[in-house]
Structure 1
C-alpha cells in the first residue's frame, strides 16, 4: 500500500494532453491549409464574386446543406474568412453534384474546423458540428469504405459531447456512444489507424466517468486496450502513451477510494477481509506504477511538452527508484536452455535506459560467465505477447533479438504485468533507436523540489 500512501488523491494529472484530441484529429488539422489555400480569396475575386461571410443570405438555389453557417464573421481573422470561403465553395460543389464524395467530405472538414474557432458561442459550435456530422454521413453513404469520413464523424460527435457535457449529461453520453461506434466502424476499413484507436480510447475513458459503478471497470479496460494497441502500432505516439498513463492513474484513485470506503464500513476484520485488503492494495499499487511507467515514457518521447513534465512530477515517486520497470519474471535456467531437460525459474529483472537485465542472486553469483539476460536496447528487434502451451503457466511474452534468432521467452504472474513489460520494452527500444535515451535517463533520475 506504500504507493497509495505516497499518492495524494488531491493531486491530479493535467488532462491537456488528452483533451486536445477531442478538438479534431490529425487529418483534420492537416486538411485546414488545403481547404483554404493562400490563393482562395484571389480566385474568388477573379470569378467576380466577393469572399463569403457567414451573414450572407442564402441564394434561392442553395439547398439547406449548401447554406452558409448562420453566424457573423465581421470580427473574424483572415484565415477564418478563407475557411468560410472554402466551406461555401465545397457546399456549392456538393449541391451541384451530390454524388461528388470529395466535395461533400471536404465540406464537413471545413465546417468542423470552423466550429473549433467558435468556442465563444456553444450554439454556433453545435450548429456547425451538426452540419459537419450531416456532411460526413452523406459522404459515408456515397462511399461506405471511407474510414476518413467515419473517423472525422466520430471526432465531431466527441466535440459535440464536450460542448454539452456540463449542461446535458445524458445527451453528451449518447453522443460519445455514437462516436465510439464511428471509430469502431472506421477501424474495420483501416485497422492500423493508431489515431482512431487513441480517440476511441478517449471516448471510452470519458464514458467510464459517466457510467454506473458496475460498468466502470469494463469501460476502463476497453479504454486501456485501445491506447495500448495504438502505441504498439506506433511506439512514438506520445499522446496515446500519456493517455494510457492518465487512465491508470484515475483508475488507481477510484480503486483506492472504493477500498477505503469498504474498509470504513467494516466494523471488524477477519482473515478473509485482511486477504482481500492486501489484494486490493497490490492492485492499487500496480495501477499507480503503470501510470508512472506510461507518463515517464511519454515524457521521454516529448520532453519539451510541459504537461508531461508536470505529470511526471506527480508520479515520479511511484516508479522503482532509478528504473522504469522492475519485477519477478519466470525465465529459462541458462544452463538448461534448448535441452530436453529445460527448466524455468523465477528471476528478478530491471528495465531502464541501459537495457533489460537480471539482478537475481543466482545470476550474480555465476562469476565471469556470459549473462544471457543482460540485453542491450540496441539488440531488441521486437516484443510480443505469446500463447504457447509448452511455456509455464502464466502470461508469456517473447523478446526478439538481433543477436539470437530464437529470442527469449518470459512469463509474468498476471496479464496486466505482462502487458506492461511488453509496452515498456518495446517503447524503450524505440526510444534507443531514435537517440532519446538521455531524455529517459533524465526522467528516471530527475530530482523534483519538494
Structure 2
C-alpha cells in the first residue's frame, strides 16, 4: 500500500492526518489531533508465514501480497492461459485441484462468494486484482469443503474478503461493510479452530476498525472500537513483540476516547499513551507510533486547557507533544503531514533545545557522592546530547558548547551513549532513577516522578536513534531554525 498524505491547512488547530499504512487505520477526530494512519491493511509478517504445504495448498496463513503474487504466477505458468481468465482455472501450483475449485458451493458460503463476485474494481488494475481475489476465494472455499476444520483456509479466505473490500467503489459503503462483516466471520472461525493464530486476531481487528470508521461517532461505532481493541489485546498477548499491533491498539483507544462519556476519556487516553510508548520502546525509529504519541498528547493538552485540570500543565503537554512530532519529522523529513504538524507545534519546544527540565544530579567530578551533595538542577537536551545548564544563566540564552566556565557541569554527548534505561537503586536519592550508560561509564540521574522519567527516557532515546539513523542534521534544523 503506497503512502499518501492529507495535510490540513497550516493554520488549523489540529494536527494533520498521517500517511496510509497497513498498521494505521483510524480517521482524525474533530477537534483532536489526527493519528498517523490511513487505509486499512493486511498483516505482513513474513516470519510467521514461512513455507507452503505440498501441492501449493494453504498450510499456513498467507500475507495478501504473497497470496496475489503466488496465484498470479501460478496462472501465467499454465501454458499462457491466465488463472484470471474466468476465475475458474488454476495454475501449475494447484492443478491437481482444478476440478474441485469448480465444485458447487454450499449455501453456507454463497453469500460471501456473491459479495466477492459483485466487486468489479474502479479501474482495469482493480478489476484484474479482483479477478485474482475471486479465484482465490474459490480456492479457499474448496479447501474448506474438503476440510471444514482447516483454520488457515478460513484465515486466507478472510484476507480475500478484506482485500476485496478495499476494491469496492468508494460510494458503495454498504457493499464494503458487508465484505468486511463476512471477513470478520471467517476470522472468528479461524481463531475458534486455532486460538493462537496471531495474524488472524490482528487483521480481524483492522477489519472491525474499518467498519467502525464507517459509523462515525455513534454507539454502534463505540461497540466496534471496543471489539477491535479486544482483538489487538489478544494479538499482543500472542505476540508481545509487535510494535504494529501496539500502535493500532493505541489508535483504537484514541478513537474510542472521542466517543465515550467525558468521565471515561482520561483513563482511555492514558492507556493509549502507554500503548504508543510501548510500541516505540520495541522499535525506536517507528516514526508513525512516535507521531501518534505526539497527537494523543496534543489532544490531551487541548482537553486539559478546556477543563483546567489540576494534575498537569497544558503547556507541559504541548511541549511533550512537540518533541514527538519533531522526532517523527526528523526521521522522515519528506513526509508532508509531519512537516505540517511541526509548523503548528515547533514554537512549543524550549528552543533552541528539544527538551528542558529538572533532574537531580551528583557533582560532575564525583558521580558517587553522598546524597547530600546531589543537587536538583536544570538539564537541556538537543541534537548533540544532554547537558546540565548553568543554574545562574537562562538556558535559552546560552549555547550547549559555551556553558559553565567557572564550574564543571555534567555533559553527555550523543556519540558517547551506549544505552538509556530506568533504574531502581537504593544508593540513589529518592525519585525515579535514570541510568545513561556511556563509553566512559554509567551516569545516574534522578527525575522528580516516574512520569517525568518516561519523558526523559523517550527524548534521549529518540535523539540517539535520530543520530544513529544519520538524521541529526534534520533535528538540528528543527530546533535551531
Q: TM-score range by the shorter chain?
A: 0.7 to 0.9
Tell me the SS of whatever aligns to 2:422: strand
In the other structure, the counterpart of 2:96 is none
Is the 8 Å Cα contact of residues 386 and 397 (structure 1) preserved in structure 2? yes
Tell me the SS of whatever aligns to 2:411: coil
Deviates more, 1:293-302 or 1:345-354: 345-354
* Structure 1 residue 360: Cα displacement: 2.3
Unaligned runs of 5+ residues in structure 2 are 1-9, 20-34, 47-61, 90-101, 394-402
Residues 156, 341 of structure 1: alpha-carbon distance in 2 compared, 3 angstrom cutoff:
closer
* Structure 1 residue 433: Cα displacement: 1.0
In the other structure, the counterpart of 2:41 is 24
* Structure 1 residue 362: Cα displacement: 7.6
Residues 69, 15 of structure 1: alpha-carbon distance in 2 compared, 3 angstrom cutoff:
farther
In the other structure, the counterpart of 1:4 is none
Q: Deviations over 1:143-192 (max 9, x none)?
A: 211211111111111111011225xx111110110111111111111111
Q: Deviations over 1:42-90 (max 9, x none)?
A: 468578972269xxxx964335346414224175432232233223322
Is the 8 Å Cα contact of residues 41 and 82 (structure 1) preserved in structure 2? no
In the other structure, the counterpart of 2:242 is 193
Deviates more, 1:129-138 or 1:170-179: 129-138
Residues of 2 paired with 1:31 and 1:380: CA distance? Answer: 38
In the other structure, the counterpart of 1:315 is 345
Residues of 2 paired with 1:151 and 1:74: CA distance? Answer: 25
Residues of 1 paired with 2:130 and 2:358: CA distance? Answer: 56
Unaligned runs of 5+ residues in structure 1 are 1-7, 260-275
* Structure 1 residue 342: Cα displacement: 6.5
* Structure 1 residue 111: Cα displacement: 1.3
* Structure 1 residue 412: Cα displacement: 2.0
Deviates more, 1:123-132 or 1:358-367: 358-367
Is the 8 Å Cα contact of residues 371 and 428 (structure 2) preserved in structure 1? no
Is the 8 Å Cα contact of residues 394 and 411 (structure 1) preserved in structure 2? yes
* Aligned mate of 1:297, from 327, 345, 352: 327
The structure with the largest helix share of the pair is 1
Residues of 2 paired with 1:165 and 1:88: CA distance? Answer: 34
Residues of 2 paired with 1:212 and 1:442: CA distance? Answer: 41
Question: Is 1:218 matched with 2:267?
Answer: yes
Residues of 1 paired with 2:476 and 2:461: CA distance? Answer: 16
In the other structure, the counterpart of 2:4 is none
Residues of 2 paired with 1:85 and 1:48: CA distance? Answer: 7
Residues 410, 338 of structure 1: alpha-carbon distance in 2 compared, 3 angstrom cutoff:
closer
Tell me the SS of whatever aligns to 1:399: strand
Q: Deviations over 1:194-224 (max 9, x none)?
A: 0010000001111111111111110010000
Residues 233, 126 of structure 1: alpha-carbon distance in 2 compared, 3 angstrom cutoff:
same
Which residues of 2 match residues 275-294 of structure 1 at below 5 A? 283-294=313-324
- Measured on the aligned residues, the alpha-carbon RMSD in Å equals 2.8
Residues of 2 paired with 1:74 and 1:361: CA distance? Answer: 65
Q: Deviations over 1:287-340 (max 9, x none)?
A: 100110100000011111110000000001100112111111111123442255
Is the 8 Å Cα contact of residues 143 and 153 (structure 2) preserved in structure 1? yes
In the other structure, the counterpart of 1:181 is 230
Is the 8 Å Cα contact of residues 63 and 95 (structure 1) preserved in structure 2? no
Which residues of 2 match residues 402-413 of structure 1 at below 5 A? 402-404=439-441, 407-413=442-448
Residues of 1 paired with 2:136 and 2:233: CA distance? Answer: 30
Is the 8 Å Cα contact of residues 362 and 368 (structure 2) preserved in structure 1? no
Residues of 2 paired with 1:86 and 1:28: CA distance? Answer: 20
Tell me the SS of whatever aligns to 2:386: strand
Residues of 1 paired with 2:11 and 2:262: CA distance? Answer: 19
Residues 165, 41 of structure 1: alpha-carbon distance in 2 compared, 3 angstrom cutoff:
farther
In the other structure, the counterpart of 2:452 is 417
Is the 8 Å Cα contact of residues 322 and 342 (structure 2) preserved in structure 1? yes
Residues of 2 paired with 1:300 and 1:102: CA distance? Answer: 41
Which residues of 2 match residues 286-435 of structure 1 at below 5 A? 286-339=316-369, 343-361=373-391, 364-365=403-404, 367=406, 371=409, 373-404=410-441, 407-435=442-470
* Structure 1 residue 403: Cα displacement: 2.5
* Aligned mate of 2:179, from 122, 128, 135: 128
